[in-house]
Each structure stands twice: as structure tokens, then as C-alpha cells.
Amino acid sequence: MSLDINELHKYLETLAPKRDDVFKKLESKASEDNFPIVGPLVGQMLYMLAKISKAEKVFELGSGFGYSALWFLQGLPENGLITLSDFDQSNLDQAKVNLESIPENTGRFILKQGDALKLLEAEKQSQDIIFNDIDKEAYPKVIALAAQKLRRGGLLISDNTIWHGKVLDQNPDSTTQSVLEHNKLLAESQNFQTIWIPLRDGVSVSIKM
Ligand SMILES: C[S@@+](CC[C@H](N)C(=O)[O-])C[C@H]1O[C@@H](n2cnc3c(N)ncnc32)[C@H](O)[C@@H]1O
């Protein structure tokens, strides 16, 4: 039997968890604007990883309008804090409105505008989770930096690690080559143990040793 991954994904989406209307509103907006978000299946995974690992501090590289951050916040304790970063100030302005539409989120997030890698580099506090969802060309640079900024036992989570299946291409384009390099660096890293989960566009979850 050959597996149709798109059909499988459609089926899994029928099992996606119940969620507040703000999540559904942002899913519709992403679909209308063709803006890439993690979607409810990966979102639920982010929530669960935050909860299981008892994370208190999360740093997001590439936050868009705050959809993935909304999921993380569900999994953080009352004193938890997530830092959102994005090149685009208008994305961050929308993220503020979206996050604050759930009153419990107020005061539990920080917005930082600029190059996410530079912003993470400047971060003084060690992090429990770093979530990587920036432009794929920069993916290889994330790994050494994340190793410095995560606590031992912390998680580096990268989205899009199968990159629409292009990681299997015989002649990968330059963006795909960056994703391949990211994956190889993680597989060979002394600093991380990694699993690749083929959910949606692929998510790698790495534990800092
Ligand atoms: C895939 S979207 C993020 C979606 C978000 N994580 C979610 O699932 O809701 C990527 C975002 O990262 C931003 N971005 C890409 N590369 C970046 C970089 N190097 N520094 C800062 N922001 C970046 C883009 O402006 C865009 O908003």
C-alpha cells in the first residue's frame, strides 16, 4: 500500500484538538493570506512539549502574527514567558492583539523586532525551548547558537524539516540545501539528540545534552 501523505494529513486534522475561536480565526486568516503557520497539529505538539518539559522560558525565531506563540502559551505555567521575534513590525503588532485576545496571556510575552538570530544572540537568560521557524536559508546558523542559549535538557524545535518533501530531491535547490545542512548538523551534533517527526511539513525535536 502506498501512503498518500496529504490524505493522511487531512484525516489527522479531523482529530485536531478543540481550541479557542482565536485559533480558528488565525487559521482562516493564514489560509486566506497564504501565510505559513504551523497549523493545529504541530501547534498541539508545541503545547504538549512545553507542558511535558515544564518549560518556563521559550524563544521563538520567526513568530509571524503569533499563532505558534498562542499554542506555546497554553502550555506554559502562570509565570512562563515567551519571546516573539520577527523582522516585520506589523506582524508583531498583530501578534500583540492576537495574544491579548486571551486575557491570561497578558504580561506573559515579549515582542522583539529585528533579525531573530541577532536577537537570540543578545539574550542573556538561558531558555527552556527555542522554536525555529525563520527563513530556511538561515537554518544552519541556528544550531550552534541554540546550543549556547538553551539550558541542558532544553529543546530546540525546528519546523519545515522535510520542506515539502524536497529533502528527497536529487538536485535540491539552495533553500532545500540549507534545510538538508540543518538536518545533517543536528544528526552529527555532539550537543543535541534529535528526532524528526514527519508531521505536516516535518518537525525536528532536539534535546540539548
Ligand atoms: C513561517 S512564518 C512564522 C509562523 C509562526 N511561527 C506560526 O507558526 O504562527 C516566518 C516568519 O519569520 C519571519 N522571519 C523570517 N526570517 C527571519 C529572520 N531571520 N529574523 C526575523 N524574522 C524572520 C517572517 O517575517 C515571518 O513572519
DSSP secondary structure string, 1-50?
----HHHHHHHHHHTPPP--HHHHHHHHHHHHHT----HHHHHHHHHHHH
Q: Are strands 127-132 and 203-208 parallel, antiparallel or unpaired?
A: unpaired
CA distance 161 to 179: 6
Cell numbers placing 6: 496529504
Helix spans in 34-160 (H): 39-52, 67-75, 89-100, 116-121, 139-149
Place of cell 511535558: 52
Quick one: CA torsion of 65, 34, 135, 111, rounded to 10 degrees?
Answer: -10
Number of domains in the chain: 1
Ligand 1 proximal residues by C-beta, below 6 Å: 36-38, 62-64, 67-68, 85-88, 91, 115-117, 133-135, 138
CA distance 176 to 71: 27
pLDDT in tens, the chain (209 residues): 788 988 999 999 999 999 999 999 999 999 999 999 999 999 999 999 999 999 999 999 999 999 999 999 999 999 999 999 999 999 999 999 999 999 999 999 999 999 999 999 999 999 999 999 999 999 999 999 999 999 999 999 999 999 999 999 999 999 999 999 999 999 999 999 999 999 999 999 999 99
Burial of 153 (0-12, 13-18, 19+ CB in 10 A): exposed
Across 71-106, b (16+ Cβ under 10 Å) vs e yields bbbbbbeeebbbbbbbeeeebbebbbebbeeeeebe
**pLDDT value of residue 2:** 87
Residue nearest to atom 17 of ligand 1 (CA): 134
User: For residue 60, how far is its CA from the centre of ligand 1 (angstroms)?
Assistant: 9
Q: Is 98 helix (H, G, I), strand (E, B) or coil?
A: helix
User: For residue 43, how far is its CA from the centre of ligand 1 (angstroms)?
Assistant: 15
Residue nearest to atom 15 of ligand 1 (CA): 134
Which of 100, 101, 150 minimizes the C-alpha distance to 123?
Answer: 150
CA distance 15 to 196: 21
Residue nearest to atom 1 of ligand 1 (CA): 36
Q: Residue 105's domain is classified under what CATH number?
A: 3.40.50.150
User: For residue 195, how far is its CA from the centre of ligand 1 (angstroms)?
Assistant: 23
Q: How far is CA 23 from the centre of its chain?
A: 16
pTM score of the predicted model? 0.98
**pLDDT value of residue 1:** 77
CA distance 131 to 62: 8
12: containing domain: 5-208
User: For residue 3, how far is its CA from the centre of ligand 1 (angstroms)?
Assistant: 31
